[in-house]
């Protein structure tokens, strides 16, 4: 049995001056026909009494590719609004490393992704005319959500109401948004709590649990404030 080795290989037949052998020296994997033809068909015959050319099948099988370095998942990835490589590449002898995110479309390019989430990366060795490929294998890679923090809020000043510490929140400033991403805090019906109900000017307000909204919200997680947040709001004194 012949297996591709990058060198010329010979299908060996006994040589004789009465016939010529062709096609018995090959290098590339494949199936070949070795032909043995009489030089003088008018005066010589084969042992079986015939003069037709003799043909033999010469097969050089593909060699197996070898996975030299297994690709590995990138760790510690955090959403940053642009594509990030998901793996460190593998290496192979013989065939070519290929990757996919769906096990359907394959490419030698390192797979990348932008959005936060879990990705399954498939890899395999793609064979060629001389080497067998490999079965696909896979692992998962995570891009964590980017954390957002609240730096300050806008609140609406109002007149004093007995025992009422709440004010309407009209805006929440977030730190950590990437580029032009569309993400904000839902402020519909949002109220904050002041440290007192008395008429005064306040520089901080306590917020309830906040909710992210808009198109890019799934790429972020909000760090809920655990203490009062900076603001500038006034509870006006009532006129007698």
The predicted-structure confidence for 190-231, as pLDDT tens digits, reads as follows: 999 999 999 999 999 999 999 999 999 999 999 999 999 999
Nearest CA among 216, 203, 210 for reference residue 152: 203
Nearest CA among 45, 33, 37 for reference residue 20: 37
pLDDT score recorded for residue 240: 79
Nearest CA among 55, 27, 23, 51 for reference residue 39: 51
User: Which residues of the chain have a pLDDT value below 70?
Assistant: none
pLDDT score recorded for residue 85: 98
Three-state DSSP state, 217: helix
């Amino acid at each position: 049995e012949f297996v591709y080795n990058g060198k010329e290989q010979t299908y060996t037949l006994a040589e004789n001056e009465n016939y010529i052998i062709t096609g018995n020296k090959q290098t590339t994997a494949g199936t070949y026909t070795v032909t043995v033809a009489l030089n003088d068909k008018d005066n010589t015959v084969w042992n079986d009494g015939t003069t037709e050319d003799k043909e033999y099948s010469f097969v050089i099988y593909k060699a197996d590719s070898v996975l030299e370095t297994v690709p590995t998942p990138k760790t510690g990835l955090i959403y940053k609004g642009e594509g990030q490589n998901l793996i460190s590449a593998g290496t192979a002898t013989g065939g070519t490393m290929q990757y996919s995110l769906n096990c359907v479309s394959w490419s030698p390019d390192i797979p990348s992704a932008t959005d936060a989430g879990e990705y399954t990366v498939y890899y395999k060795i793609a064979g060629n005319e001389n080497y067998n490929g490999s079965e696909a294998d896979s692992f998962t890679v995570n891009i964590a959500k980017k954390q957002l923090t609240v730096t300050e809020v806008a609140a609406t000043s109002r007149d004093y109401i007995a025992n009422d510490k709440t004010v309407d929140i009209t805006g929440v400033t977030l730190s950590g948004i990437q580029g032009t991403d569309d993400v904000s805090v839902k402020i519909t019906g949002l109220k904050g709590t002041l440290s007192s109900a008395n008429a005064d000017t306040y520089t901080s307000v306590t917020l309830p649990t906040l909710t992210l909204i808009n198109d890019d919200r799934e790429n972020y997680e909000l760090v809920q404030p655990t203490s009062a947040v900076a603001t500038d709001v006034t509870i006006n004194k009532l006129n007698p």
